[in-house]
């Protein structure tokens, strides 16, 4: 296929602005899918994506489109919109020459519209700005075009207007892509270079990699070499998504597809690596991706001890499909053997945990999330610590530093006051306010990352009646009055419950924690004391009085089925219990430390 007639592009947008619907509409209008299939959001095929109605994984689909008597091959990469999946977006963009920047004509420019547009501009992509949902009564196309010009410097005349739902205006999108996005510029005769931008594990085929060919040709039967990894393999099958897998014999310059090469070892494949031919291969690899930096960490432990190895395998498989999370083994006195995992945000953490549980059938116990801290010790050593239990005692710490983020909120102007209060309560430092239009503003604050990961997003949504959006970037570490708060249950320190708090909030936080835990830990046959302490100083204490009654005692009479049900329920709850000394603590208790106030 002549690369002149190939176009590679992604669709980027703020969450829910209609990317997946537009992608499906493009498939429909090019004849790749039927009207019936259009309704099904074909590209979001992961169960979790369908349940939540969001895109988590990027997808690449090849479609053919005829224009002015020529057939063009369009490779479309659908990307997620949520800030936690930024890394998926940036990898997809590196495989493209253009991007459709989609903006909901009823909502206007939102925080991720700006962030994703800059990502595309930074990757030197041609941008095709498109307003979506113009079929809706509430659409304000002219006003939103102004906003796009104001925030991104895009000429209003270049902005297309469509309805992804009805298909109105979509033919113009095809034309704009063909006219405005440049064809791929690789060397068809040069040695093979193909960029691995994603992969997955298949029980039968081994590791399947998704690539974009930059130079040369990739063929079935060819011997290939991973340039960074160094391993060699033989290509067994190649193909493209149309949107179903369709095998082919070769992939040329600019083409995007999957490669099956009988790779059984998960570590042989690295996202961002370059595939070349084993004989006479390229000497220089393609520039890879910037490694994503996890910002939120938590411990994941198997609910039953004998599943540690299963959890390791599950993490390795998932890492292949999602290279943006990190994991390393850790041991906890309370929870046994498990892993400390790093994520790009709270939603990412939730999704990874759910994918692990579903795709590998594991029950997990998760500890409260936290950020990485930088500690300067009295000995002059600088430590980076992502596990609160490892933080040295206060006496050994010279300076305690925490990550700070610059946060942009795009909000209705009448909400500025509430959001400022929200930030002040979270130790925020005001930077500036800019107006997007008479009714909307961009408010910028510097906030400790730890203060924003838990519930800032939810609070923002409720304070702005759902209209506010936010985006953030990390600035670095800054010293703060921080300390480690430990929790003791029945006199024993529960390492997995340690948290880092600001000194000014320590007493309140400690009191709240023990009170909360009191409600979460079941009564035992003996009295259980719960204490919060900083170093050796106890700052709060509660106790759970001893249990007197048997749970089934209230089922007097002969109702045996009810009795059995109660016992079943107890057993169910126990699955997620952990034994600390002789006290049992539930998953909810571990998560309750998360609840800030
Ligand atoms: P994420 O993948 O989660 O980022 O969302 P998305 O950008 O892919 O949005 P999606 O395509 O899932 O659309 C979000 C909602 O908007 C869905 O309920 C769609 O049916 C609706 N929608 C999308 N395009 C249009 C449109 O042109 N008109 C109308 N009326 N609704 C639309």
E-only strand ranges, 14-93:
59-67, 70-78
pLDDT at 555: 46
Is the model's pLDDT at 48 over the cut of 70? Answer: no
Confirm if 110 and 18 have CB atoms less than 8 A apart.
Answer: no
Q: Using CA atoms, how far apart are residues 103 and 567, in angstroms rounded to an integer?
A: 53
Section 203-222 average pLDDT: 91
**144 φ/ψ sector (left φ>0, alpha ψ -120 to 50, else beta):** alpha
ipTM over 0.85: yes
Q: Is 387 a known ligand-binding residue?
A: no
Confirm if 67 and 96 have CB atoms less than 8 A apart.
Answer: no
Closest CA to 64 of 13, 127, 1: 1
Is the model's pLDDT at 38 over the cut of 80? Answer: no
Give the confidence band of 573 by pLDDT, cuts at 50, 70, 90. very low
Section 283-304 average pLDDT: 81
Higher pLDDT, 71 or 557: 71
| Ligand 1 atom at minimum distance from 52 CA | 3
Higher pLDDT, 61 or 592: 61
Highest mean pLDDT among 111-120, 136-145, 446-455, 489-498: 136-145
The model's pLDDT over 123-134, given as tens digits with 9 standing for 90+, comes to 889 999 999 999
Q: Is 203 a known ligand-binding residue?
A: no
Omega before residue 175 within 30° of 0, cis = no
Average pLDDT of the chain to the nearest whole number: 83
Closest CA to 513 of 481, 542, 482: 542
Helix (H) or strand (E) holding 465: none
Query: Looking at ligand 1, which residue's alpha carbon is closest to its atom 28?
Result: 133
What share of the chain in percent tops pLDDT 90? Answer: 34
Helix (H) or strand (E) holding 199: strand 193-202
CA of 440 to the centre of ligand 1 (A): 23
pLDDT at 20: 82
Is the model's pLDDT at 35 over the cut of 60? Answer: yes
Helix (H) or strand (E) holding 88: helix 86-94
Query: How large is the C-alpha radius of gyration of the chain?
Result: 27
Is the model's pLDDT at 596 over the cut of 60? Answer: no
The model's pLDDT over 509-538, given as tens digits with 9 standing for 90+, comes to 889 888 888 887 877 778 888 999 998 889
Section 121-149 average pLDDT: 93
Q: Any residues with Cβ below 6 Å from ligand 1, and which? A: 13, 15-21, 53-55, 80-81, 132-133, 135-136, 163-165
Confirm if 138 and 106 have CB atoms less than 8 A apart.
Answer: yes
pLDDT at 172: 96
Q: Using CA atoms, how far apart are residues 174 and 190, in angstroms rounded to an integer?
A: 31
Is the model's pLDDT at 112 over the cut of 70? Answer: yes
Confirm if 261 and 235 have CB atoms less than 8 A apart.
Answer: yes
The model's pLDDT over 541-553, given as tens digits with 9 standing for 90+, comes to 998 887 765 555 4
Q: Please, what's the largest Cα pairwise distance for the chain?
A: 85
Q: Could you please report the per-residue DSSP string of 508-547?
A: HHHHHHHHHHHHHSPP-SS-EEEEEEETTEEEEEEEEPPP
Q: Is 17 a known ligand-binding residue?
A: yes
Is the model's pLDDT at 5 over the cut of 90? Answer: yes
CA of 210 to the centre of ligand 1 (A): 26
Confirm if 102 and 13 have CB atoms less than 8 A apart.
Answer: yes
Q: Using CA atoms, how far apart are residues 40 and 167, in angstroms rounded to an integer?
A: 15
* Sign of the Cα pseudo-torsion (356, 360, 363, 367, in order): negative
Q: Is the pTM of this model over 0.90?
A: no
Burial class of residue 41 in the structure, from the number of CB atoms within 10 Å of its CB (0-12 exposed, 13-18 middle, 19+ buried): middle
């Amino acid at each position: 296929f002549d690369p002149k007639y190939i176009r590679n592009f992604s669709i980027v947008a703020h969450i829910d602005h209609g990317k997946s619907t537009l992608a499906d509409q493009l498939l429909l209008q090019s004849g790749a899918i039927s009207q019936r299939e259009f309704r099904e959001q074909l590209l979001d095929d992961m169960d979790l994506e369908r349940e939540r109605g969001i895109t988590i994984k990027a997808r690449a689909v090849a479609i053919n489109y005829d224009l002015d008597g020529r057939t063009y091959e369009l490779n479309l990469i659908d990307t997620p919109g949520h800030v936690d999946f930024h890394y998926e977006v940036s990898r997809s963009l590196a495989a493209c020459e253009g991007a459709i920047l989609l903006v909901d004509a009823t909502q206007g420019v939102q925080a991720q519209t700006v962030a994703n547009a800059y990502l595309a501009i930074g990757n030197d992509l041609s941008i095709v700005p498109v307003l979506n949902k113009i079929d809706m009564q509430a659409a304000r196309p002219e006003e939103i075009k102004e906003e796009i010009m104001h925030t991104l410097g895009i000429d209003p005349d270049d902005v297309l207007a469509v309805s992804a739902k009805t298909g109105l205006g979509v033919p113009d999108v095809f034309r704009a892509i063909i006219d405005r996005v440049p064809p791929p510029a690789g060397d068809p005769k040069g040695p093979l270079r193909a960029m691995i931008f994603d992969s997955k594990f298949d029980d039968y085929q081994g590791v399947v990699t998704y690539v974009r060919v930059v130079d040369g040709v990739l063929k079935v039967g060819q011997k290939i070499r991973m340039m960074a990894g160094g391993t060699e393999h033989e290509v067994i099958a190649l193909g493209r998504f149309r949107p179903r897998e369709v095998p082919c014999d070769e992939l040329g310059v600019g083409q995007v597809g999957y490669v099956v090469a009988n790779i059984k070892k998960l570590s042989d494949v690295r996202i961002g690596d370059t595939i070349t031919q084993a004989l006479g291969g390229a000497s220089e690899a393609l520039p890879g991706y910037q490694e994503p930096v996890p910002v939120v960490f938590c411990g994941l432990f198997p609910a039953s001890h004998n599943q540690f190895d299963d959890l390791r395998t599950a993490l390795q498989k998932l890492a292949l499909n999602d290279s943006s999370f990190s994991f390393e083994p850790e041991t906890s006195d309370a929870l046994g053997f498990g892993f400390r995992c790093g994520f790009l945000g709270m939603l990412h953490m939730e999704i990874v945990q759910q994918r692990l549980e579903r795709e590998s059938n594991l029950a997990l116990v998760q500890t409260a999330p936290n950020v990485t801290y930088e500690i300067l010790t009295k000995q002059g050593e600088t430590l980076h610590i992502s596990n609160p239990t490892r933080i040295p005692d206060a006496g050994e710490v010279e300076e305690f530093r925490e990550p700070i983020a610059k946060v942009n909120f795009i909000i209705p102007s009448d909400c500025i006051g509430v959001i400022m209060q929200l930030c002040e309560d979270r130790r925020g430092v005001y930077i500036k306010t800019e107006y997007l239009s008479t009714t909307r503003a961009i408010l910028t604050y510097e906030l400790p990352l730890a203060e924003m990961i838990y519930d800032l997003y939810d609070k923002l949504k409720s304070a702005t009646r759902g209209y506010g959006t936010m985006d953030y970037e990390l600035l670095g570490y800054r010293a703060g009055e921080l300390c480690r708060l430990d929790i003791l249950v029945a006199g024993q320190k529960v390492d997995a419950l340690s948290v880092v708090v600001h000194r000014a909030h320590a007493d309140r936080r400690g009191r709240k924690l023990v009170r909360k835990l009191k409600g979460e830990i079941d009564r035992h046959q003996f009295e259980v004391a719960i204490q919060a302490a900083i170093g050796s100083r106890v700052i709060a204490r509660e106790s759970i009085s001893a249990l007197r009654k048997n749970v089934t005692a209230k089922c007097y009479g002969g109702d045996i089925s009810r009795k059995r049900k109660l016992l079943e329920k107890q057993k169910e709850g126990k699955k997620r219990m952990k034994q600390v000394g002789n006290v049992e603590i539930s998953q909810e208790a571990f998560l309750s430390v998360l609840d800030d106030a």
